[in-house]
Amino acid sequence: MPDQLRVTVWNEGRHEKKNAQIAKLYPDGMHAAIAAYLQACGDLDVRTATLDEPDHGLGGDVLPTTGVLIWWGHMAHHEVKDAIVDKVCARVLDGMGLVVLHSGHYSKPFRKLMGTSCSLKWREAGEKERLWVVEPGHPIVQGLGEYIDIPHEEMYGERFDIPEPDALVLISWFAGGEVFRSGCCFRRNKGKIFYFRPGHESYPTYHHQGVLKIIANAVRWAAPVPGPDVFFGNFKPLEKLETA
Ligand code: ZN
């Protein structure tokens, strides 16, 4: 359907192939679990793409026709070709939305668009995570309560070395005591970027209805807006200028 927002769910897809426990949680990959939820929403046209496909599944008309790209990567960030990274970033600047999940904080496109190290503290102890909504009027938390709990997750802790977000929507608290800016909105030229923390591969986080709802909300928030074209450089005056 041409008037539906086109979403491409990109996943590295390696953990699911290498680890039987993870494959059990996500038999068709984490991208398939996320894509199934988004497709069932009814208003989105959802595709998937993975690292091991030619051009990482992002060649041809895939990026030009994608309205919002979701990105999950971890163990193979370095295998993502720089030429594809450049194309992803150029599309974001031209208005494509980008939703970066969990360990995607270290992905090449996110680091390039942020311009910082995007480093953080981490610990894998299966502890409880509570995500607090701190901007209750924001479209990304539409339909949520004050917080959501995830029974078992990897911990990410501050400091998270990112530029100050344009909007901070969610903050996580972890049972071990750390806090983390878990839902961060950024704008880069015409494009919107949302970083969303949950989603360690060893836990069933992408079966959690609250997490999936936030991802779906973020996709709609990040959708391209048919605004004016952008021009840079020398520009003729619109009005007659008085010359001295
Ligand atoms: Zn992780």
Element (H, E) at 101: strand 97-101
User: What is the distance in A from the centroid of ligand 1 to the CA of 214?
Assistant: 18
Contact yes or no for 132/171 (Cβ under 8 A):
yes
User: What is the distance in A from the centroid of ligand 1 to the CA of 206?
Assistant: 13
The span from the CA of 134 to the CA of 167, in Å, is: 10
The span from the CA of 125 to the CA of 146, in Å, is: 25
The span from the CA of 78 to the CA of 74, in Å, is: 9
User: What is the distance in A from the centroid of ligand 1 to the CA of 225?
Assistant: 32
Q: What is the pLDDT of residue 10?
A: 98
Other CB atoms within 10 Å distance of the CB of residue 213: 18
User: What is the distance in A from the centroid of ligand 1 to the CA of 201?
Assistant: 6
User: What is the distance in A from the centroid of ligand 1 to the CA of 128?
Assistant: 14
- The model's pLDDT over 11-40, given as tens digits with 9 standing for 90+, comes to 999 999 999 999 999 999 999 999 999 999
Q: What is the pLDDT of residue 41?
A: 97
Q: What is the pLDDT of residue 2?
A: 55
The span from the CA of 35 to the CA of 50, in Å, is: 13
User: What is the distance in A from the centroid of ligand 1 to the CA of 19?
Assistant: 14
Tokens of 37: 């939820």
User: What is the distance in A from the centroid of ligand 1 to the CA of 241?
Assistant: 58
Contact residues for 232 (Cβ-Cβ < 8 A; gap 6+): none
Nearest CA among 168, 204, 152 for reference residue 37: 204
Q: What is the pLDDT of residue 3?
A: 81
User: What is the distance in A from the centroid of ligand 1 to the CA of 1?
Assistant: 35
The span from the CA of 41 to the CA of 24, in Å, is: 25
The span from the CA of 20 to the CA of 39, in Å, is: 26
Other CB atoms within 10 Å distance of the CB of residue 42: 7
Divide the 244 residues of the chain into consecutive groups of 10 and give the mean pLDDT of each group.
87 96 97 98 98 98 98 98 98 98 98 98 98 98 98 98 98 98 98 98 98 98 93 94 84
The CATH class of the 5-118+184-222 domain is alpha beta
- The model's pLDDT over 61-92, given as tens digits with 9 standing for 90+, comes to 999 999 999 999 999 999 999 999 999 999 99
3-state secondary structure 106-133: HCHHHHHHHCCCCCCEEEEEEEEEEEEE
User: What is the distance in A from the centroid of ligand 1 to the CA of 103?
Assistant: 5
User: What is the distance in A from the centroid of ligand 1 to the CA of 123?
Assistant: 9
User: What is the distance in A from the centroid of ligand 1 to the CA of 102?
Assistant: 6
User: What is the distance in A from the centroid of ligand 1 to the CA of 172?
Assistant: 15
Q: What is the pLDDT of residue 63?
A: 98
User: What is the distance in A from the centroid of ligand 1 to the CA of 239?
Assistant: 56
User: What is the distance in A from the centroid of ligand 1 to the CA of 192?
Assistant: 24
Cα dist from 77 to 87, 95, 101, whole Å = 16, 23, 13
Q: Is the pTM of this model over 0.85?
A: yes
Parse the chain into domains and list their residue ranges.
5-118+184-222
Residue with tokens 């949520």: 144
